[in-house]
Amino acid sequence: MGALQPWHLIILVLVVVLLFGAKRLPDAARSIGKSMKIFKAETKDMRESGESDTTTATAEAETRQLPSSSATAAAQDKDQQLADLQRQLDELKKQQQPNATADQAPKNAG
């Protein structure tokens, strides 16, 4: 009587789906999976750090270099996008200047 029957699991699954919704469950499962993967990697690193500190120091140095190079690339992309937007803005201003002077001439004459 105390054992978990298959129909107990079915009812439990239905209750969970009703509470959280079918759209949220895959996202929740995906985030739990990512968290477990990170947790396993960190525990593995902790075990290996006890065995050899030089390997961990090398791995940390490599991980520190990766974000800086990607951050530099991202900053260059942003700078390039900013330069392109500034150029487009200047072109639009040049196009608006002849129209603005033509519009102002009849107002001044009247």
Name which residue leads in pLDDT, 61 or 18. 18
Q: What is the pLDDT of residue 41?
A: 94
> Is there a contact between 56 and 48 (Cβ–Cβ < 8 Å)?
yes
> Is there a contact between 84 and 92 (Cβ–Cβ < 8 Å)?
no
Percent with pLDDT over 90 in the chain? 16
pLDDT above 60 (res 66):
no
Q: What is the pLDDT of residue 34?
A: 95
Percent with pLDDT over 70 in the chain? 67
Could you report the per-residue pLDDT of 4-14, keeping only the tens digit for each? 888 898 999 88
- Find the Cα–Cα–Cα–Cα dihedral 100, 105, 108, 110, rounded to 10°: -120
**pLDDT averaged over the chain?**
77
Residues 6+ apart with CB under 8 A from 32: none
Q: Give the pair of three-digit tokens for residue 28.
A: 């929740």
Could you report the per-residue pLDDT of 69-108, keeping only the tens digit for each? 555 677 778 888 888 888 888 888 888 887 655 556 565 5
